[in-house]
Structure 1
Amino acid sequence: MRAFVAIDLPEIVRDVLEDLQERIPTGRLLDPDTLHLTLAFLDEQPQDLLEQLHDDLSSIRALPFEVQLRGLGTFGSRAPRVVWAGIETQPALTALHEKVRGAARLAGIELRRERYRPHVTLARLPDRLEPGELEKLRNFLERWQNFPCPPFEVSTFTLFQSILTPDGAIHDPLAEYPL
């Protein structure tokens, strides 16, 4: 089962991001209902490991905290592949990310070693952008870099199953965990 652990976004934040998505000049926009803040991507995992992970995630303790979206960017060193909205640095978010990764390790799930760059993916870009599209994308990023978005409180996180379809991923919540 393909799975990930994430923070679901409140409706007011989804609305802001959906308005922002409508301004992205190129690429395939993600369904606003699937927008989330990933804590750990688990990839394909057998059911028994996910059941063990559920037990380990249930034991995580943390206080609720506030998150602020800030800035826009792209991933892809030579050619941009993803457009994202960034998250302001937040020690409590980093600590929750580390606790989730620790729970995954305890459950026997091997995660890729990579620097945590909290973000919300807004769009996926084609392999190659025409020069005009690239310029429009740069203009969009520059113009909307300081988009207004209210902060929101994180009081839960969720284990999701991700089902890939030709129209994009479907995210099915498997369990929610309170902070």
Structure 2
Amino acid sequence: MPRLFTAIEVPDEIGLALAGYRGGLSGARWIDVENYHITLRFLGDIDEETAQEAAYLLGQVRRPPFEVTITGPDAFGGGRPRALVAKVSPSPAILELQAEHERLARRAGLPAESRKFAPHVTLARLRDASPRAVADYLGLRGGPPGLSFRAEQFVLYSSRDSVGGGPYVVEAAYPLR
């Protein structure tokens, strides 16, 4: 069974700029730069028939390219920080694309996503990082990085169950047009 998700790839030059956040936080497992992406919809470990149906439905998406803006570093998890992320501006274009992916996933027979969509690039997974250490890190490294790029496509990734994310394989690419 493949583990699948849809995402927007982060261009190499943006990934290299985000790599400047690496280091300086105890308990962080840093994601490899080549694995940076913005997840739109996690499909999960699904059977081959459902995977083919989802891939077909995603091919029906017709949306224009749009600008993606990274607004700055943050952490997910509140009192128990679990990830260091680069937040992405929730523009109407990215929210509508994600909502369409949600509708298509449900049409393919997958359950509804229970979490609210918060676009981001995961920079590190945190293990035993104290809220204070994360707050200090963000205080020193914070501030908007002023990064943006044009999303020209989205992809269907497969992944292997591994520690720290990746490697991810592009199973299909869908141009925005």
Normalising by structure 2, what TM-score? 0.91
Cα deviation, 1:110-157, whole Å, max 9, x if unaligned, reads 23222110011111111x335xxx434212212322142431000100
1:165 aligns with 2:162: yes
Q: 1:22 to 1:70 in 2, by over 3 A?
A: same
Letter paired with 2:129: L
Secondary structure of the corresponding residue to residue 167 of structure 2: strand
2:88 matched to which residue of 1?
Answer: 87
Note if contact 1:13-1:149 (Cα within 8 Å) is conserved in structure 2.
no
Counterpart CA distance in 2 for 1:174 and 1:52 is: 13
Aligned residues: 175
User: Quick one: percent identity of the two aligned structures?
Assistant: 29
Q: Give the C-alpha shift of residue 91 in structure 1.
A: 0.3
Note if contact 1:81-1:124 (Cα within 8 Å) is conserved in structure 2.
yes
Note if contact 1:2-1:162 (Cα within 8 Å) is conserved in structure 2.
yes
Secondary structure of the corresponding residue to residue 72 of structure 1: strand
1:45 aligns with 2:41: no
Counterpart CA distance in 2 for 1:117 and 1:173 is: 22
Cα deviation, 1:60-89, whole Å, max 9, x if unaligned, reads 000100011012211113310111110112
Note if contact 1:34-1:170 (Cα within 8 Å) is conserved in structure 2.
yes
Q: 1:114 to 1:168 in 2, by over 3 A?
A: closer
1:16 matched to which residue of 2?
Answer: 17
Letter paired with 1:138: A
Structure 2 unaligned blocks of 5 or more: none
2:4 matched to which residue of 1?
Answer: 3
Structure 1 unaligned blocks of 5 or more: none
2:135 matched to which residue of 1?
Answer: 138
Higher mean displacement: 158-167 or 53-62 = 158-167
1:73 matched to which residue of 2?
Answer: 74
Letter paired with 1:79: R
CA RMSD in angstroms comes to 1.7
Q: Which runs of 4+ in 1 moved over 4 A?
A: none
1:119 aligns with 2:116: no
Q: 1:148 to 1:75 in 2, by over 3 A?
A: closer
Counterpart CA distance in 2 for 1:166 and 1:88 is: 28
1:129 aligns with 2:126: no
